[in-house]
Structure 1
């Protein structure tokens, strides 16, 4: 793979996740500062709704009729328009949420389109794609640092940039930039042109049947359940650390992405030592510990506990979600591999996060009442709820999961991330 092409694809991936990180880790703070403190779970509801819709758009339309780079460009330009309009509707909460829904319906399909475009042009997927994909994580980190330390120079002394519309406008600008840039990417014809594609295959029904076993069903169910407390992290951590006195909210949250890069490197070695079951269990346990640290660190607050909870993101995400994707890949045959990966994403980032956002929102609002924010003692009580829920999922998984597909005869060469 030539360096010029790798650089172009890496920049695409950098911007793709810079865009997501710029608004996702700040929007709840912005809403809280603008009288929508009891609606902060809705951005994290419309996002999984879009994640559910995205496979149908990509599978039934984008992958069959249009060049990938053109669809990628058009969707990002449309997304830029919707995101630019969103903060202007701050006085009209329903319109604000609908504009975020429209934006997410444009953005979420671009994630799989960016992967499709990359895979079409690289020679060695296992060697080249991780190098390209890591720039996505770097993009998310840079977005958080830019919000705290660059946009922070353009706000009043006692105002956090996350409280303003600047991160949303930065998202819109980056979306427009990537939209225009996408048309310069190498031509990528529709991968499924002329093929028969059905709703059944997109949803992953065939993969569900072929991979069916008790342990596989336990894995799917556990993944779904874990996304319910997971939603509380994405939605409310940004509000929590602001209430706990942290100044640079977006920059602080990037510690999680930095941790993600570190633990991604450790996955192959840990896979051989622990096997699939205990890798997945370690990821679940990290979620329990994270929420417990948030709870115990809330009342004082204790800074190191809160930072440690954020830093656990590497284990939480890599050891469970990345390991889960590898597990599904190893279980699959080439004919159903795509369906199987689509199925796990639909169950987790789609249905699981959708239900999780609504549940977390209801719990948060029950604590909030008529106040503008939770007290630190209320945060202590709040964080124990997802901690206990995640612990119950962990116990269920350990008792009922017993698939050794990667435990026997695996070597480090068998594992790719």
Structure 2
């Protein structure tokens, strides 16, 4: 994590930031759905699949709102490290409150419609702050690392490690279907909120620039390129299909009788770290389009194996493919923007695609997933193969469209093929 030309501690402080912010998310995102859908008689909240998807949709709304707030606050008015610290302290308080609200509506006190309404607004504020903090943190890293093309990858990989550690700690030492999820997350937010004041000073750089420029609106001109339209449409569809896995992977594996599903799901993050190490070779040797096709095919394979319902195959193939697909499509997407957009539009182009795919795409995916699962659930039994068939078809269509209609830009690429911050919202 060497970064010549900067104070020795900068990369390590940024790596600590990445570790803690993704540890805070990993503590609850993967496991919350299993508590929400657990019957009230078993201590759960008794939510339907659509109510569960409604809560997870707050992440998508955060993806819609946060880019505008980021452009206005971080680029024009406040130092990034102060914003990151403030947001994480706010999120710590939110996690404590959310945990207590969820606890009050669990078991014999279950009232899914009322609980869903309360939790929705609480998670909405949290999600906006979360997307905001991650976006500002990525931007801070890119501005303060001396050689971000080489240093950002190792720094960012600590976020994946944080997700792995927290999700496994929660499963091993805490109650999965309880407010413990939010307590662990709150602890991570508090630590980062306090340590953020020691992050590299990153003053706003957009003072004096017009607000539309700070918010990245000039990047809309990229839609004049047919390949960019194809790319954005495929990213939109993929984000929709990805939400089936985000919301229903843990309940599905529990239904299959898999032991320690959260620990097994973290296999994807280990594979992701390995794929990150090979990313430079893949991009330089095969190009962006071929690398992204590998990522898309991995999504098709993952969902197809999930549809089969064979636990050994899911463990050995489907879960690892999640790490392959995320790295080789979502991360490589940032490299595509670096090649497609002129330098003065790159940041705006990333914000634009985050808005298009991470906002409406994710939002529609949550609602579609909830509707599909409820349509194939009768009493306590869910026809899971029918549920997973939808993302199989969706990812297959996206892959075919990308192969046929997308053309890689013919401009020089970064020498080492290392990505800039994530273009699409992360869900490790």
CA distance in 2, matches of 1:416, 1:140: 21
Q: What's the CA shift for 1:201?
A: 5.4
| Residues 18, 143 of structure 1: 8 Å contact kept | yes
CA distance in 1, matches of 2:416, 2:262: 37
Q: What's the CA shift for 1:97?
A: 1.8
Aligned to 1:195: 209
Aligned to 1:28: 33
| Residues 54, 108 of structure 1: 8 Å contact kept | yes
CA distance in 1, matches of 2:223, 2:8: 39
Aligned to 1:316: 325
CA distance in 1, matches of 2:289, 2:404: 11
- Which aligned pairs between 1:167-186 and structure 2 lie closer than 5 A? 167-186=181-200
Aligned to 1:120: 143
- Which aligned pairs between 1:333-412 and structure 2 lie closer than 5 A? 333-369=342-378, 371-372=379-380, 374-375=381-382, 378-405=383-410
TM-score, length basis structure 2: 0.88
Deviation digits for residues 365-413 of structure 1, max 9, x if unmatched?
11224x34x44xx11221112101211121122221233536xx76x82
Deviation digits for residues 316-373 of structure 1, max 9, x if unmatched?
111111111101111111110101111121122222111111111111111224x34x
| Residues 28, 238 of structure 1: 8 Å contact kept | yes
| Residues 27, 170 of structure 2: 8 Å contact kept | yes
Aligned to 1:156: none
| Structure 1 segments (4+ residues) deviating >4 Å | none
SS of 1:24's equivalent in the other structure is coil
TM-score, length basis structure 1: 0.90
Q: Confirm or deny that 1:50 pairs with 2:62.
A: yes
The answer for unaligned runs of 5 or more in structure 2 is: 1-5, 39-43, 106-114, 420-428
| Residues 288, 391 of structure 1: 8 Å contact kept | yes
Deviation digits for residues 289-321 of structure 1, max 9, x if unmatched?
10100011x1xx432334410100122111111
| Residues 147, 251 of structure 1: 8 Å contact kept | no
Deviation digits for residues 239-290 of structure 1, max 9, x if unmatched?
1111111232322211111111111122222223332222222211111110
Aligned to 1:253: 265
Query: Aligned to 1:104, which of 127, 135, 140?
Result: 127
Q: What's the CA shift for 1:183?
A: 1.9
The answer for unaligned runs of 5 or more in structure 1 is: 152-160
> How many residues get paired?
396
| Residues 27, 184 of structure 2: 8 Å contact kept | yes
- Which aligned pairs between 1:160-239 and structure 2 lie closer than 5 A? 161-198=175-212, 202=215, 204-210=216-222, 212-239=224-251
